[in-house]
Amino acid sequence: MIDIQQVTKEFSGKTAVKNLSLTVEDGKIFGFLGPNGAGKSTTIKMITGILPIEQGKITINGFDITEHPLEAKKRIGYVPDRSDVFLRLKGIEYLNFIADVYDVPTDIRKKRIEYYAKSFGIYESLNDHILTYSHGMRQKIVISGVLLHEPEVWILDEPLTGLDPKSSYTLKEMMREHANKGNIVFFSTHVLEVVEQLCDEVAIINNGHIEFLGNMSEMKQQFQEDDNLEKVFLELTQNE
Amino acid sequence: MNKTWKLVRTIVKMQFSLAGKSTSEQIGYAFLFIFAIPFSIFIFYAIDGIVGGLYNILEPAGNESFILGLLFISMFVVLILVSVGSILSSFYFAEDIESFLSLPYHPFQIMLGKSAVPFITLYVTNAAVLAPGLIVFGMHSGSGVLYYIYALILWTVTPVLPFVLTAIIVMYGMRFLNLSKNKDRMKIFAGLFTFIFIIGINIVLRMNNSSTDAGEDLACLIEEQNGLLNTITTFFPTAYLHSITLTDPVSARGFLFLVLSLIIIACAFVLYLTAGQKLYFKGVLGLSGGSKKKFDEEKITKKIKQSNVLFISWVREMRTIFRTPTFFTQIIVQSLVFPVLFIVVILFDSNGGDFSISSLGSMVEEIEPKRFILAMTGFTVFALGINPASISSISRDGKSWFNHLYMPIKAETVIMSKVWAAFCINLLTLLVIGAVAFIFANIPIGIGVIWFGMSLIINWITSVAGTTLDLYTPNLQWTDEREVFKGRLIGILALIIEVVVFGSIILFLWNVDWLEGLWMTSSILTAAFILLSFVCHLILKKVIRTHYYSIHQ
Ligand SMILES: Nc1ncnc2c1ncn2[C@@H]1O[C@H](COP(=O)(O)OP(=O)(O)O)[C@@H](O)[C@H]1O
Ligand SMILES: [Mg+2]
């Protein structure tokens, strides 16, 4: 379970996230929807321990990210929005590094590396430096790295940007599968359509606070009643 | 021609632009400039001492040309040393290479543009060493205006030949290496190439010297006018021409040799342009492409194995350093410059100078053991002081720094893997220095062991201190790896701090009377250093707490 309580983040006077609270139950795919600059990445960075939390509290399956960072981080698999991974490593070295960090035994990592790299069609590039990968390939190697340790909580920041349709489909399938096993999948996007296809629960964030929290059918209803939300909706549908 | 000039100007402007540099950095440069003034006075006096001394000894037999010969030869070697690194990084490894390839220029024009910055670097070296040398010689020989005019001309052209020769060899080598289509091996080879080259020159010089019985022959040579010059310049014809020109500027021979020098240099320059036109792109074009290797499944499965997180993080650091061309040249090659200079000094001086092999050996016996150990320690601090691996520990990660933050690795583990990487790279320096000292200067085993032990602690301290400094003020927002080293004052800052701290310990021990003997001195020194490394660790811990999670914001 992800539990976010009253979290606030300021950047030199500008508030990026204001008093944000939400919880995500196990086995759910949670869509974090919002236009560019809404505060999605900032929130995700606080959940994953990249940004220190100034006010509020975040726990991952009972472990506070500030107080027990290692325990919490072990349970998280994070796919960043930028693919600035360790570019000078070869694909296989990167995956092996990740497996070491998250304590994946050798025989299991062998099986999984082969399985995921082949599913994404990057198996034959594993012996090349990540530097030579395209954006989509980098995304795929990071995703493979995350799935390698089967995290209880899978967090993805705009994961579908830059993926080709086939990989996009594969990834969505994997997200579904992962959630069906009882894990959490939490991802951000600025595309309404993706949320409609995939999510069990949705939060809509704008200007750093949550405008809506609920399931899909509730969301559609709200759009028609709430003026403010309609504006957000327009912004989201005009995108792409 | 006009177009070429524009290109050169643009490239130079891009490199030296102060735009985007913070005011604190600009203040730093101002400080550097102010520092340079007393430093240059110091250099001037040092050179005056050496040249003046030699002049008085050699002048009676008409051998003063030897001083100039030595000056030009050492300049030649130093300029080659400086060139190799800067040519490699500017010609081949700079990230902006690709953007120039698409411009409508001839290969030689782009090569000229790319030469500008390395060439300016050479002139700085040239101004620091050769210029005062020539002025001092002129003062001692009481030469007239003509000497200074010739000297100015020769000073201006001196960097051309070493630069051009190095560039041709490097370009040829890169073309050849590119054919082998193996990027990784190529980079390492390129770095090693420098050293093989330098050591090769040394061996040639040494063989030339040692085949003659030094004492007697030296006596003969001194009696013969220009005899010494003829011997040392066998392999450097231009140094011979330059020296004769300047010892005898008013004669027809002086003028003739000056013209000859200029013709040789001009020919070399033309050769350089031709070589650039023919070779430059061949080396560059393959670089950005990335070669398509055959896929080998077995290789992949073999790489999958479990290891300790600290160890695998250390492996990642080392891989990054060895695989990133800029890091390789700035860290590995740089850290070998000092030991190589050490070798040059020792081998060059094989005929009885202060640092020659024999005199180093006897020095060990003559000097008080306490002072010897202290001096050796000071020397080691200098050799390890600029520790480019440690002061780039954090900055090297650049925008990928945040990856450490979400992974379940302790901050201490990440930082220690970086400290270990810096330590291991410096160990290379130590081993080279140690091996040379051990083989060539008969240093007793006991002292050797003490030195090595002490050096390991010093190495550890500088690695921790450098990493701490970099964590305190990292530069993570770079787009080109060179920014990790360029325009940052951290290297000088680290050196100043280390020289002050270690220097005061050494100076203190040097001057206290109650301290005597080899064992007592080294025990106290070791104790002091262990204490120091303990303090460094405490500071590092504190900086980790305050900075590790906030530097990327
Ligand atoms: N490091 C930073 N410094 C200052 N402002 C930032 C920083 N990171 C994000 N912001 C600001 O915070 C707001 C939210 O950004 P972000 O969370 O990245 O949005 P998005 O929803 O598109 O992921 C934006 O207005 C952005 O300008
Ligand atoms: Mg974002």
- Using one digit for the tens of pLDDT, what is the confidence trace for B301-351? 888 888 899 999 999 999 999 888 778 877 887 777 677 666 666 655 554
Residue position matching structure tokens 């726990």? A59
Hey, CA dihedral for B137, B138, B142, B147, is it positive or negative? positive
CA B510 to chain centre: 30
pLDDT(B154) > 80: yes
User: CA–CA separation, A58 vs A51, rounded Å?
Assistant: 12
Domain match, A45 and A159 both: yes
Please tell me which residue, B232 or A182, carries the higher pLDDT value: A182
Q: Which range scores top for mean pLDDT: B57-71, B182-196, B229-243, B518-532? A: B518-532
Domain match, A121 and A201 both: no
Question: A93-97, B411-415, B443-447: which has the minimum mean pLDDT?
Answer: B443-447
User: CA–CA separation, B137 vs B151, rounded Å?
Assistant: 10
pLDDT(B105) > 80: yes
Q: Is residue A97 part of a domain?
A: yes
Domain C-terminal end among A108, A132, A151? A151
Q: Is residue A89 part of a domain?
A: yes
Of A48, A69, A124, the CB nearest to B295: A124
Determine the average pLDDT of the residues in B430-449: 78
**In whole angstroms, how far apart are CA B124 and each of B38, B119, B127, B265?**
16, 9, 5, 20
User: CA–CA separation, B293 vs A124, rounded Å?
Assistant: 10
| Closest to B160 measured CA to CA, from B256, B230, B96, B242 | B242
pLDDT(B479) > 90: no
What residue's CA is closest to ligand 1, atom 5?
Answer: A11
- pLDDT for B291: 47
C-alpha dihedral, B419 to B425 to B426 to B432, nearest 10° = 160
- Mutation to probe ligand 1, out of A8, A10, A11 (largest number of atoms < 8 A from CB): A11
Residue B185's identity, in one-letter code, is R
- pLDDT for A4: 96
Residue B353: pLDDT band with limits 50, 70, 90:
very low
Question: A79-93, B141-155, B201-215: which has the minimum mean pLDDT?
Answer: B201-215
- pLDDT for B212: 44
Determine the average pLDDT of the residues in B284-288: 58
CATH code of the domain covering residue A171: 3.40.50.300
Interchain CB contact of B102 with A (< 8 Å): no
User: CA–CA separation, B358 vs B339, rounded Å?
Assistant: 19
CB contact under 8 A, A92 and B307: no
CB contact under 8 A, B408 and A102: yes
Domain match, A120 and A169 both: no
pLDDT(B62) > 80: no
- First and final C-alpha spacing in chain A: 32
Domain match, A147 and A157 both: no
Domain match, A176 and A97 both: no
- pLDDT for B217: 53
Q: Which residues of A touch B304 (CB under 8 A)?
A: 92, 95-96, 99, 106, 109-110, 113
Q: Is residue A29 part of a domain?
A: yes
Please tell me which residue, B27 or B473, carries the higher pLDDT value: B473
Determine the structural domain holding residue A200 and report its residue range.
22-52+152-240
Q: B241: how many CB neighbours lie within 10 A of its CB?
A: 24
What residue's CA is closest to ligand 1, atom 6?
Answer: A11
pLDDT(B84) > 90: no
**In whole angstroms, how far apart are CA B282 and each of B179, B226, B503?**
9, 45, 49
CA angle B518, B520, B525 (to 5 degrees): 95
Of A73, A87, A92, the CB nearest to B300: A92
Q: Which range scores top for mean pLDDT: A176-185, B66-75, B191-200, B285-294? A: A176-185
Of B290, B299, B398, the CB nearest to A127: B299
Domain C-terminal end among A104, A124, A151? A151
Q: Is residue A145 part of a domain?
A: yes
- Using one digit for the tens of pLDDT, what is the confidence trace for A167-199? 899 999 999 999 999 999 999 998 888 888 899
Sequence-distant (6+) residues with CB within 8 A of A207 are A18, A38, A39
**In whole angstroms, how far apart are CA B82 and each of B72, B144, B207?**
15, 33, 25
Domain match, A184 and A222 both: yes
Check: CB of residue B199 under 8 Å from CB of residue B192.
no
CA B178 to chain centre: 26
Domain match, A141 and A176 both: no
Q: Please name the residues between 311 and 330 in chain B that touch chain A, using a CB distance below 8 Å.
A: 312-313, 316, 319-320, 323-324
CB contact under 8 A, B407 and A73: yes
- Using one digit for the tens of pLDDT, what is the confidence trace for A137-147? 999 999 999 99
pLDDT(B425) > 80: yes
Of B300, B307, B405, the CB nearest to A100: B307
Check: CB of residue A18 under 8 Å from CB of residue A189.
no
Q: Is residue A33 part of a domain?
A: yes
Q: Is residue A98 part of a domain?
A: yes
What residue's CA is closest to ligand 1, atom 7?
Answer: A11
Q: What are the counts of helices (DSSP H) followed by strands (DSSP E) for chain A?
A: 9, 10
Question: A107-121, B110-124, B328-342, B520-534: which has the minimum mean pLDDT?
Answer: B328-342
- pLDDT for B290: 46
- pLDDT for B2: 78
Domain C-terminal end among A121, A151, A181? A151
Question: A28-37, A66-75, B324-333, B336-345: which has the minimum mean pLDDT?
Answer: B336-345
Q: Is residue A3 part of a domain?
A: no
Q: Is residue A11 part of a domain?
A: no
Rounded to a whole number, what is the distance in Å from the CA of B393 to chain A's nearest CA? 14
- Mutation to probe ligand 1, out of A42, A161, A190 (largest number of atoms < 8 A from CB): A42
Determine the average pLDDT of the residues in A74-90: 89
Domain match, A205 and A185 both: yes
Residue A64: pLDDT band with limits 50, 70, 90:
very high
Q: Which two tokens stand for residue B432?
A: 């080279």
Rounded to a whole number, what is the distance in Å from the CA of B220 to chain A's nearest CA? 59
Check: CB of residue B40 under 8 Å from CB of residue B128.
yes
Please tell me which residue, B319 or A231, carries the higher pLDDT value: B319
Of B295, B323, B549, the CB nearest to A52: B549
CA angle B420, B424, B430 (to 5 degrees): 140
pLDDT(A49) > 80: yes
Sequence-distant (6+) residues with CB within 8 A of B261 are B154, B157, B238, B241, B242, B245
A208 Cα nearest atom in ligand 1:
14
Determine the average pLDDT of the residues in B196-222: 54
Domain match, A162 and A240 both: yes
Mutate to test the interface with A, among B187, B315, B405 (most CBs of A within 10 A): B405
Domain match, A144 and A228 both: no
Check: CB of residue B416 under 8 Å from CB of residue B423.
no
CB contact under 8 A, A49 and B406: yes
Domain match, A146 and A134 both: yes
Q: What is the value of pTM for the model shown?
A: 0.71
Percent of all residues in chain B with a pLDDT value above 70, rounded to a whole number: 78
Q: State which residue of chain B sits closest to A72, comparing Cα positions.
A: B408
Determine the average pLDDT of the residues in B492-518: 85
CA B96 to chain centre: 24
User: CA–CA separation, B500 vs B382, rounded Å?
Assistant: 11
Instruction: Give the DSSP H/E element, type plus range, for residue B301.
Output: helix B297-303
Number of domains in chain A: 2
Mutate to test the interface with B, among A14, A101, A104 (most CBs of B within 10 A): A101
Check: CB of residue B39 under 8 Å from CB of residue B217.
no
Q: Which residues of A touch B318 (CB under 8 A)?
A: none
- pLDDT for B25: 64
CB contact under 8 A, A82 and B323: no
Domain match, A159 and A224 both: yes
- Ligand 1 contacts (CB < 6 A) are A 11, 16, 34, 36-42; B 553
Determine the average pLDDT of the residues in B77-100: 78
Residue A50: pLDDT band with limits 50, 70, 90:
very high
CB contact under 8 A, A89 and B316: yes
What residue's CA is closest to ligand 1, atom 11?
Answer: A16
Exposure on the CB side of residue B98, measured as CA atoms within 13 A: 7
CB contact under 8 A, B299 and A73: no
Determine phi and psi for B376, rounding to 5 degrees. Answer: -65, -40
pLDDT(A131) > 60: yes
Sequence-distant (6+) residues with CB within 8 A of B346 are B355, B356, B357, B360, B436, B440, B441
Q: How far is the CA of A35 from the centre of ligand 2 (A)?
A: 9
pLDDT(B237) > 80: no
Check: CB of residue B394 under 8 Å from CB of residue B547.
no
User: CA–CA separation, B506 vs B499, rounded Å?
Assistant: 10
Sequence-distant (6+) residues with CB within 8 A of B526 are B453, B454, B457
ipTM: 0.88
Q: b or e along B94-107 (b: 16 or more beta carbons within 10 Å of the residue's beta carbon)?
A: beebeebeeeebeb
Q: How far is the CA of A82 from the centre of ligand 1 (A)?
A: 14
pLDDT(B512) > 60: yes
Question: A96-105, A147-156, A177-186, B444-453: which has the minimum mean pLDDT?
Answer: B444-453
Pairing of strands A184-189, A153-157: parallel
Q: Which two tokens stand for residue B535?
A: 């303090």
